[in-house]
Amino acid sequence: MAKIEARSDPRRRGCPAHLCTMSAAPSAPITFELRGEFVELNQLLKLAGLCASGGEGKMLVAQGRVQVDGAIELRKTCKVRAGQMVLYNGVEIRVREQEN
């Protein structure tokens, strides 16, 4: 079994350890059902349970740690729509329209 190591990034003082976790293996994809036309990227990270708040989500995006459809996304409130895929820390979020 692979060891999962949590460590603080010395460049960011006060960084919670859960933001600096090194994943041993990619997790199972998360399917996010979209209720409207789009969801902002920072809010998607929060709603998917990958960070504690939208502010934390903004910080992760600003640091270049989040990809949308395979490209690093730096716009914190990027509009993510159905059919797109978000990747953060080895966790894939697949966005789809909500079923009626």
How confident is the model over 31-66, as pLDDT tens digits? 999 999 999 999 999 999 999 999 999 999 999 999
Residue 71 is assigned to a structural domain of this protein: yes
Token pair of 24, please?
A: 């041993």
pTM, full prediction: 0.72
Beta pairing, strands 39-40 & 5-6: unpaired
- Chain centroid to Cα 65, Å, comes to 8
Count: domains in the chain: 1
Q: What CATH number has the domain bearing residue 89?
A: 3.10.290.10
Residue 2 is assigned to a structural domain of this protein: no
Cβ atoms within 10 A of the Cβ of 85, count?
A: 14
Residue 43 belongs to domain spanning:
25-97
Task: Please give the Cα distance from 61 to 77 (Å, whole number).
Answer: 9
Q: Express each pLDDT in 64-96 by its tens digit.
A: 999 999 999 999 999 999 999 999 999 999 999
Residue 33 is assigned to a structural domain of this protein: yes
